[in-house]
A and B are shown apart, each in its own frame.
Chain A
Amino acid sequence: MGSKKLLLSAVLASAMMIGSAQAKTLVHCSEGSPEGFDPALYTAGTTFDASSRQVYNKLAEFKIGTTSIGPGLAESWSVSDDGLEYTFNLRKGVKFHTTDYFTPTRDMNADDVIFSFKRQLDKDHAWNQYTAGTAWEYFDAMSMPALLKDIVKVDDNTVKFVLNRPEAPMIANLGMDFASIMSKEYADQLAASGNMEDLNQKPVGTGPFKFVNYQKDAVIRYKAHDDYWAGRTKIDDLIFAITPDSSVRHQRLLAGECHFNPYPNPADLQAIRDDSSLKLPEQEGLNVGYLAYNTQIAPFDNPKVRKALNKSINKQAILDAVFQGAGKAAKNPIPPTIWSYNDAIKDDSYDPAAAKKMLDDAGVKDLKMKIWAMPVQRPYNPNARRMAELIQADFKEVGVDVEIVSYEWGEYLKRSKELDRDGAVLLGWTGDNGDPDNFLAVLLGCDAVGGSNRAQWCNKEFEDLVQKAKIVSDPDERTKLYEQAQVVFKEQAPWATIAHSVVFKAMRNEVDGYKIDPFGGHVFYGVDIAN
């Protein structure tokens, strides 16, 4: 009980230190350390939480808690008829952070936008290799180098992106973390003083929180940005207390040392629900967990065989045992929260007798196969080993012998991509930008065979639909194309779609206004602490 008073006395202590009567401090029990503070260099959610989501803004911003994109640092934009030019009108009067190490002399303008992107695009840019082994992972993964022809300053508050080809998800791409807008003035200051690597250690942005200090692997401290363009946050101080173990995070939450546990253990969920000092909001994750067959190797090249195997999987048992209630059966390759989700599609019903008959009809006898199980916990699959065991038992019922294999995570990712991979692989995906293209093209497109398309599946009808949807800009038309693509997917069954996980966030009752981010991020703007 003594520790529960800890938070109260600590708040008072912090108020004394800050010098104001009632400073509000939010403590987030972060699950890991950030790799750095320049979000364009990295891909991990933990790093984005510590950088882009608190300290920076983008041209377009996802409305907090949703996948709908809207104005950010750009208050409006227009797209040319041919879809090749995007002209952004920048918001005026946006202030960068004033910190111990930097004082801005001007507002955000086009130079900052151009700097933020050109450093990633131009190999000859002075900042392109500003630290050892710089790689612009997400910029490259979203095909920006092939897509972007040029970024042009029209005037101080207008920037034009010129594309090589139309790309309907472009705005959504610009709402992603790698597209955070940096301060060119700060970059110039660092270059002049010979401290370019500080851009990755001591960030300066326009976001609701400004960076104060990082004690490596221990604590990150932020302060409210008083001149934030969208209105100052209600919290005065934000602290990330890095706590890698989930059971310990739970204990810290109970003891009042943290306000927020981003990844509670499924085993602790009931205890959290029963505790009157805590609350547990939930939301469907923007993810899908699946079993991908290798459609280039017999008998998995036969859609009827794949359909039969799908029908033999007891998804409810998997939801109960593996997700412990924190999941929903998946029937489509995109989650229900993404627009164009085709709810009219019927899932393969669990019917082992029918499945056996379908296998017999297809001439499949004494089939032996491998199922690959991931060694790590992922948002879309908390226990792949367990899931594989359940599927193994299900497949045995229909006369298919399964051997479960696993590799260390890095090796797993590498080997599972191989065209001659032996076996079906358990894997999944969390959406990057809320666009169906980010699931359907990335995971099932012909270009991605041998890469992120683990089913090695290339289907002309599906491909045509998805490619057309990439260039069409009318949302209704795109919706129809993606809906049809999902129909083709269901008929051809390159995967057994298993589940979309439900995301839970545990927090103390006094935390108000937190919205769960579908992309898996943790955004603290708009959060308040009730007294």
Chain B
Amino acid sequence: MLYFILRRVGLLIPTFLGVTIAAFSFIRLLPGDPVLLMAGERGLTPERHAELMERFGYDRPIWEQFLEYVYGVLQGDLGNSLITKKPVLEEFFTLFPATFELALCSMVFATIIGVTAGAIAAVKRSTWFDHTAMGTALVGYSMPIFWWGLLLIILFSGILGWTPVSGRISLFYFFPQVTGFMLIDSLLSGQKGAFASAVSHLILPTIVLGTIPLAVIARQTRSAMLEVLGEDYVRTAKAKGLSPRRVVGIHALRNALIPVITTIGLQVGVLLGGAILTETIFSWPGIGKWMVDSIFRRDYPSVQGGLLLIATIVMLVNLIVDLMYGLINPKIRHTGG
């Protein structure tokens, strides 16, 4: 097992280097540069442009900029945002809890409902439940997040008035951000109604962000379950007289979950990406929106740092998934993955 862990961790290093190179070069492949964008319609004289490029250090050879960047990264310095002038690391971790909180809630929502629906659909194959569940999943997967979010806002917040429109908490709660997680901070604040407000603000964004992963997980679970339900050992368990609940819940589902866990791990990447649209619609101050704004403004340090950090998180999550995989499936850990 240890060898397995070490091998997986070791693979992180070349992956990390690859991501650094990609993050560094992609943003520079985009036309335009940060100086030009700051000037807007007014424009700059070539001399002024050159002067500002020199001040930011973007006139130096690319390999030199890259090495300086990597050197900084190894010391934990991801540079400063060209726009806000604040350290990129600080910007990222100020906003990351919001994305993490939303992604976690969405993942829990998508997993619980997705696995349940998928499992039941498999057991009740070809019934109305199966068709309805899978049809809904397909619709959910196909809907544009933006449109879906707006629809829910208009219905539940606008017409029915059941949920707030956007934001993380009602504007009239003002307390220190201790952890950055609104659910925790609102409890810590002790202000009456703050926690309830935080929860109510999470409802719609969680549904919207979780819809696509839910659909994928539901369909994946159903597929995996169908395969497992056809296996000999399941037939044996049934023949032995075990209750259907035990057969499905313990013997079938546990084995069906193996590919589903991989899917869940991959969905983390989707969640961080889908967060961009959900964050924009729900005015959710997370890293998705920040990344998009940074790209449009050609804020090189923020884009590089953001890509690097997000890639690191995704890699770590997938490492955990792989390790869990090894835990669940003894075959994998013995062959070294």
Contacts and interface: CB of A to CB of B under 8 A. Distances in A.
A487 interface: no
Contacts of B91: 216
A13 B161 contact: no
B172 A218 contact: no
Given A244-B283, A451-B43, A131 B85 contact: yes
A217 B290 contact: yes
A148 to B, nearest CB: 17
B245 interface: no
Interface residues of A, number: 62
B158 A248 contact: no
Contact of B153 (A10, A251, A452): A251
Contact of A243 (B55, B85, B283): B283
| Chain B residues touching A, majority SS | loop
A408 B170 CA distance: 37
Nearest to A200: B85
Interface in A185-202: 197, 200-201
Contact of A6 (B150, B170, B298): B170
Contacts of A408: 30-32
Given A10-B170, A248-B283, A410-B32, A3 B161 contact: yes
A427 B286 CA distance: 33
A321 to B, nearest CB: 23
Nearest to B156: A3
Nearest to B38: A137
Contact of A215 (B158, B165, B177): B177
Contacts of A27: 171
B174 A407 contact: no
A218 B177 CA distance: 12
Contacts of A221: 174
B224 to A, nearest CB: 37
Most buried by A among B48, B80, B158, B174: B174
Nearest to A43: B40
Contact of B157 (A140, A255, A409, A414): A255
Contacts of B282: 248
Interface in B79-109: 79-80, 82-86, 91, 94-95
B40 A257 contact: no
Interface string A5-48: 01000110110010000000101000001011000010100000
A507 to B, nearest CB: 16
Given A6-B170, A43-B38, A133-B55, A452 B43 contact: yes
Interface string B273-314: 000000011110110011001001010000000000000000
B289 A217 contact: yes
A201 B86 contact: yes
A367 to B, nearest CB: 27
Contact of B171 (A134, A219, A428): A219
Contacts of A451: 42-45
B85 to A, nearest CB: 4
Nearest to B277: A245
Contacts, number: 163
Interface string B300-335: 000000000000000000000000000000000000
Interface in A245-274: 245, 247-248, 251-252, 254-255, 257
A377 to B, nearest CB: 13
A442 interface: yes
A255 B153 CA distance: 11
A241 B86 CA distance: 22
A417 interface: yes
Given A216-B95, A248-B166, A133 B41 contact: no
Contact of A35 (B41, B84, B158, B171): B84
Given A3-B161, A133-B56, A442-B42, A241 B167 contact: yes
Contact of A248 (B38, B40, B150, B162): B150
Contacts of A43: 38-40, 42
Nearest to A218: B285
Contact of A197 (B86, B172, B296): B86
Contact of A251 (B36, B158, B171): B158
Contact of B165 (A213, A216, A248): A248
A4 interface: yes
Interface string B109-140: 00000000000000000000000000000000
Given A201-B86, A251-B154, A451-B44, A414 B38 contact: no
Given A257-B165, A451-B44, 17 more contacts: A13-B170, A17-B172, A27-B171, A33-B293, A132-B82, A200-B85, A216-B95, A218-B285, A219-B171, A243-B166, A244-B289, A248-B166, A255-B158, A255-B161, A410-B31, A410-B33, A451-B45
Interface of B: 30-33, 35-45, 48, 52, 55-56, 79-80, 82-86, 91, 94-95, 150, 153-154, 157-158, 160-168, 170-174, 177, 193, 280-283, 285-286, 289-290, 293, 296, 298
17 contacts: A3-B163, A11-B172, A27-B171, A36-B84, A137-B39, A216-B91, A217-B285, A218-B283, A218-B285, A241-B283, A245-B283, A248-B150, A248-B282, A252-B165, A255-B165, A408-B31, A413-B41
7 closest A-B pairs by beta carbon, nearest first, are: A410-B32, A217-B285, A2-B161, A411-B31, A131-B85, A132-B80, A218-B285
